[in-house]
Every structure is written in C-alpha cells, then in structure tokens.
Structure 1
C-alpha cells in the first residue's frame, strides 16, 4: 500500500501538471500544434505564453512555416459565416479577455474580428463564437487568438493558424442570409491589444477592458480599463528580419517580423520579399505584390508553398492529432470546414483520395480543380495543393477553372441561383 507521503506527492505532481497546462487553441489547428496533421514540427509546449521580451511575437515565431508543407491552411471560412474557435487546457487563470484577428500580410498587421471581454477562456476548454466580417478579403490568412490572462504572471498568449477565406457569392444561397454591408470596413478594424511583451504596456491581475475592441464584442462580468493602449508597434526586443523564434520544445523556426507602422495604419503593408525569415514562392511563379486600394479595402492572398525545380511535390504526413480533442482525419489531408470538430477519437491513419484528386506537378498555374462538389485543389508553384473543403452552404462544379470569382454571363437558373464560371458555385 502506498504511503501517505507518496500519495500526497503524487497528488501534488498531478495538480502541478494541471496548473502548468495553461490553454491552447485546438480549432482552427495552429501552426506546429499537435492538433494540426499538416505540422511537420510539433511544439510540445504550445500552451506557453509569448516571451516577455516580445522576441517571438507574433505567433511564437512560427510564421516562418508559411509557404511550407507545415503551413497549409487548417480550416476554411466564408465572409459573413458564423463559426467558432475552440480553446483547450486546464489552467485558465480565472479567464480574462481574448481576441480573434486576421492577417493577410504574413503577420505584419492584424485586424480584430471579435473581442471577448471577461470569462475567456474557461478551464477545461470551450468554443467561442464569432462571425467572419462580410467584407473580409478572400485568400489565405493568418487567424490569431490572443489572451490576456486575469490572474498569475503578467503574460500574453498567442496561437496562430493558417486559414482560407473563401469568396462570398453576391446572390443568395439556400440557407444563407444576404450579406449586409459591414458597419466598419475591414481595413479600419483595430489591431489586437498587446501587453506584457516588452512594448511598454503591462497588465496584471485584471480582466482587461480593451481600449479599442472593434465593432464585434461579447462582454461578461466586470472589466478594468488598462493604463496603456496596447499599441501594436514593434515589441521591445522583438524579431527582426530572419530572427529566431524560441519555438518552445519542438520547434526552432525563424520568427516573423513584428508589425511596423505605416503612413496608413488601416491598410496592411505588403510583404517584403527581403525577409529571409518567411519562405517565398520560387522565381518560376512569383506572387504579385498587392497595391493599396483607394477604397480602403485589404487585398486577399495565398501563401504558396515554395518548391525547388525538379523536387517532388510535398505531401502532408499521415496520422492525426494525439491531443484531448483531436481533429478527425479529412479526405486527402483536407482542412476542416468552419466549425469545431467533435471530441473523441485518437486520429491516426489516412483516408482514400477523393475521386479526381490530383497530385504532383501541374502546369496551369493558379487554376482551381473542384472535387465532387465538396472540396477543391489549387495549382500553386507548379504542384497541386491538398484538397480544401468548401465552406458550409456552398458547393462547386466538378472540374477545373481559372478563377474562384469570375462570373459568366449565363442566365439565372429556374431555382434562382446564378451559375458561376469558377470553382465556387451555388449549392
């Protein structure tokens, strides 16, 4: 029979492990997360906060995975779509305040799409609802969850996932309400509140009442206005081009640059091709740099996987997550659609490819290939991507097309749905 001392020691160890568990985002699956089947390097300490110096802001330095097999989108959403994110873990530090943000310039700037002030997150895990802004640009984006904890050390937590924002059809889709004009243009949404990362702003033992939470806010309980504005300028000691992220145990990728100021803070700066910390597409198929829109909108984009000439196309590793709430395997390694995956199961294994799925080299750069109406692939950097599921409420016409958004001059169908000459079509 174990002694009283050994029993007490075991209980203490278990309690300590729970306290050290902290929290992490499981959906959408972050870069280098155990919940992300595409991650080629796993961070065993994903629950840890950002460095107090800001050296691994943003995203713990993992934006260096963009453009690599480990940086594939892990979920897809549509403008105007209601969805959620899932936060898991055992030490919620009595909650606090959280924000969800999107970046289209590889983490240089973020725009807040939802703020939760109070009771975010909760111990044990929970889902938090949000709506993708109706004017969110289409393309690949970085989805960021940031958390200012209520009690404990002054810290800032941040997990980031690559997601695909699909194009919203202009006509009505069955089961989908017409999109209203955004009350606040996407480009004018605020940057996330930053504190405790060497930027001169400190918050401790308080529920942060964000000075500028944006137009979409959920409040629970009482909160305190901080004495600083949490500006999104370069954190003290933050990363420079090619800087190294700490990565925690399980990753050592270079850190992406911190946000920089510009003449127009409402429009993200275009990515710099001189930044060696973030892989760029091969010279054989360069990605054009978007120009500023006079209407104050933000361009979308695609994080294209860089490949060497003659190299075999990368494939996602087989096997699933091994966490407490794993993401179920998708056909061909596809990303889950815009809703949290169910709990249970242990992941693992791979599924048969979808009928018509392509792999390896392709010649029609930028083309889209619809698979069975439920997912699509894209020809990028000379090779086909893994299948990406369609957003809920939409389907595509099987076959290859040149653009997601081009509309044909076909007449309206009897059902009232207009046909699109693209991979996206009405259900």
Structure 2
C-alpha cells in the first residue's frame, strides 16, 4: 500500500541517483571539486548539475569569488604549443551532445575557444579529450580553463566546470595575447539569455574556432538571440576543418596520463590520438530535474530524429509537454508473490525480432503514462501523447518485456520492483 514515508524514501533515492550519476570534469579538477586538492572543506557535491536556467551562476557555477584565494591555486601548469587533455566522468550523458574547451585570462569575463567537440561529447563513463594549447596562449598564473557541454537529449541545459591553471607563453607576449584574444567566444545558451539549443540534435557551434573534432552529422545550430562569437577562427592554429582523429577515448576508470597525483603534480603532455575511436554508447538518460525513470519528451515543430531507431515523420502540431509524473514504489519479495504481469497493448511498432516491441519515438500513443519494456534491457514511456526515446535500464537491472501500466523491474539476486503512478495505488 502506498504510504507517504515510502514515497519520500523513494524520492530521496531518486534524487541521490540523479545527482550522483551525471557528468563532470575531473581533470583538471574544477574549483570546489572533491577532486581539487586545494578545495578544503568547501566542496560542491552538485558538480554534475547544470547551470541555473536563469543564468544566476554563470559562469563556472558561481565559483569565481574564490579567485585570489588559496582555494583557487592552479592545479596544473601548461605550456603553449603542448598537448594536454581533459577528463569527463559520470553516467547520465543525455545521449552526448557537443562540448567546448576554453580559456579565460580576464577573470571569467570572456572564455576563448581552444577546441570544439561536435557530437558524441561526452560518452557515458570516463573519457578523455585531447587538445593542443594554442601557440599564442599568453602567460598567466591564474587562467581559467573551462569545459562546457550542451546535452543532446533532455531539458535544454548548459553544463560548465572551471579549473584554475597556470600557463607559459612563448615568443612575443604582446603579439600572442592580442592573437589569442581574437579567438571566438564560447557559445552561451539555455541560461535565460534568449539563446537555446535544439533538443534531439548535437549543437553546431556558430564559430567553433580553428580546432574542431566532429563525431556526428546530426547537428543543429542554436536558435534565438545568440549574438555573434567574437573574432574569427583564431590566431596560431591552422586548418579549421573538423579533426576526425581526436574522438573521445572512453576510459576504464584509470586516470589519464595527465591526471594529477594526490600531491597535485602537473601532468605529462600527451600525444593526440592518431586512430579515431568512436564514443562509448552510454545510456540515454533523463534530465536531472525529473525523477529517475521518467522521461518527458519535449515536442517541437520538427520532431527530432532519434539515433537508435528510425524516426517518425514530422508530426506537425505536437501536443504540449505533460507535467512530470510522480512515481511511487511497491516492493514484493521474489518467490513469495507473483510479479504483476504487463497488460499487452497493441502498438504501432509491434513486429518480430529483438526489438519487436519498440514504439517509434514521437509516434502517437493513447494510454498516457504506460511503460514499454523492450527486450528486458530498454524502456520507453507514453508521455504527452507521444512515445519517448528508448532508455537503457540501470546496470544490474532488467524489466519485464511488454507494454503495461507498471514498469516491473528485476535486480539480479534481489527483489522484484514495480514502479507505478500513485493514481494506480489504493
């Protein structure tokens, strides 16, 4: 039976999972990161969350007040012209997206693009991205290195982590500072500034700079009042064509060559990858603002093309988004009671084969709130009158295949869990 205490415990578990599972830059360690040796007790345990939709904590999640203090000591020392990497880790990658690496030499007022990664950024898990510090990088003791990410699937968000690094220049400092400052600014969107990205596509940066790695052709430019990126292609780099040989390298949990030791030692420059590696096929997950296991599609005039299955034709007038559905949990011990059987409902995607039960994302559905488990490893939901994209089950869990009012989940060697909406509970 549904009780307030059970519901509260369930929501608490979902909140913990959603906060702990998203993506963050772990190297170089950002300001207030638990991985930053200078952070002390001032730790931001929500490092994986996006910037506020109002833009109140742009840039750098509101950490720039630490500049000039011991907590903002440089965590790495880099030399112009050398190759380094950044490391991203986490689980919920929202089907990737597009990222930018940038540097600021004016205390965070402007961030100049060092490299753009269009598509597949980041994969789920741990991955590293190489970049070469431009030859025209000026010297500084407290430069800000930033990783920004615009997710492909889910709420329209902007993620940003910033680390303090020291840089060493070469040649004429005046000439190089002028050249570096002519590089384009990073894209700023989804933070209440009138500029937004398109759900379902990797954002194509209007001015990505001279160094670009492109891993996906399904892109879309930002929309709205996005302004114009400052400068042109940049200073010292040449060849602005996409760099296909610098795809992310999905990690196995071990630190990359340039990761610091516990004492904060500086990394050894790495060599750019010469053989392209495709990003890991991480799970497509929900936004951090919704309970785990709930996906509410965001309709648009042009239905986005799903990368897992064949997309439907444009639906024209899509229904407005539904309000997030609140979930409750009913748990029964395996073997002592029978798990609820899904009620089969004919669907437009029925057929034979492994994915016989896949419903086309964006296709119309009738019974609001129904779940569709496909092959025991993926699921989707009827929300706002449309079927959502397919989403992976959490590691170590599976679901009971079929369309039903409840998503019946199994954990290996554990118990049966049945997720239902409170409206179905007595």
Tell me whether 1:329 sits opposite 2:261 in the alignment.
Answer: yes
Q: 1:209 maps to what in 2?
A: 204
1:24·1:159 contact (CA, 8 Å) conserved in 2? yes
1:104-162: CA deviations, max 9, x gaps?
Answer: 01001110010000000010020011110001001131000000000011100000000
**Structure 2 matches for 1:313-392, cutoff 5 A?**
329=261, 331=263, 333-338=264-269
**TM-score using structure 1 length:** 0.50
1:26·1:325 contact (CA, 8 Å) conserved in 2? no
Q: 2:181 maps to what in 1?
A: 187
SS in 2 for 1:163: strand
Structure 1 residues without counterparts, runs of 5 or longer: 1-5, 171-180, 234-264, 268-295, 298-322, 341-427
Q: 2:120 maps to what in 1?
A: 119
Tell me whether 1:227 sits opposite 2:223 in the alignment.
Answer: yes
| CA displacement at 1:196 relative to structure 2 | 0.5
2:198·2:220 contact (CA, 8 Å) conserved in 1? no
Alpha-carbon separation, structure 1, partners of 2:215 and 2:166: 30
Alpha-carbon separation, structure 2, partners of 1:199 and 1:79: 33
**Structure 2 matches for 1:69-80, cutoff 5 A?**
69-80=70-81
| Aligned-residue RMSD, C-alpha | 3.5
| CA displacement at 1:167 relative to structure 2 | 3.1
Q: Which has the higher strand share?
A: 2
2:37·2:262 contact (CA, 8 Å) conserved in 1? no
2:135·2:169 contact (CA, 8 Å) conserved in 1? no
SS in 2 for 1:142: strand
1:193·1:229 contact (CA, 8 Å) conserved in 2? no
| CA displacement at 1:83 relative to structure 2 | 1.2
Q: 1:29 maps to what in 2?
A: 29
SS in 1 for 2:220: coil
SS in 1 for 2:208: coil
Q: Residues 42, 153 of structure 1: CA spacing in aligned structure 2 closer, same or farther, 3 A cutoff?
A: same
Alpha-carbon separation, structure 2, partners of 1:19 and 1:37: 22
Alpha-carbon separation, structure 2, partners of 1:20 and 1:330: 22
2:197·2:221 contact (CA, 8 Å) conserved in 1? no
Q: 2:53 maps to what in 1?
A: 52
Tell me whether 1:143 sits opposite 2:145 in the alignment.
Answer: yes
2:120·2:215 contact (CA, 8 Å) conserved in 1? yes
Q: 1:343 maps to what in 2?
A: none
| CA displacement at 1:82 relative to structure 2 | 1.1
| CA displacement at 1:45 relative to structure 2 | 0.7
1:261-288: CA deviations, max 9, x gaps?
Answer: xxxx669xxxxxxxxxxxxxxxxxxxxx
Structure 2 residues without counterparts, runs of 5 or longer: 1-5, 237-252, 272-426
Q: 2:85 maps to what in 1?
A: 84
Q: 1:260 maps to what in 2?
A: none
Alpha-carbon separation, structure 2, partners of 1:339 and 1:147: 23
Q: Residues 214, 197 of structure 1: CA spacing in aligned structure 2 closer, same or farther, 3 A cutoff?
A: same
Q: Residues 133, 153 of structure 1: CA spacing in aligned structure 2 closer, same or farther, 3 A cutoff?
A: same
Q: Give the greater-gyration-radius structure (CA).
A: 2
- Worse overlay, 15-24 or 114-123: 15-24
1:76·1:337 contact (CA, 8 Å) conserved in 2? no
2:90·2:125 contact (CA, 8 Å) conserved in 1? yes
SS in 1 for 2:65: helix
Q: 1:199 maps to what in 2?
A: 193
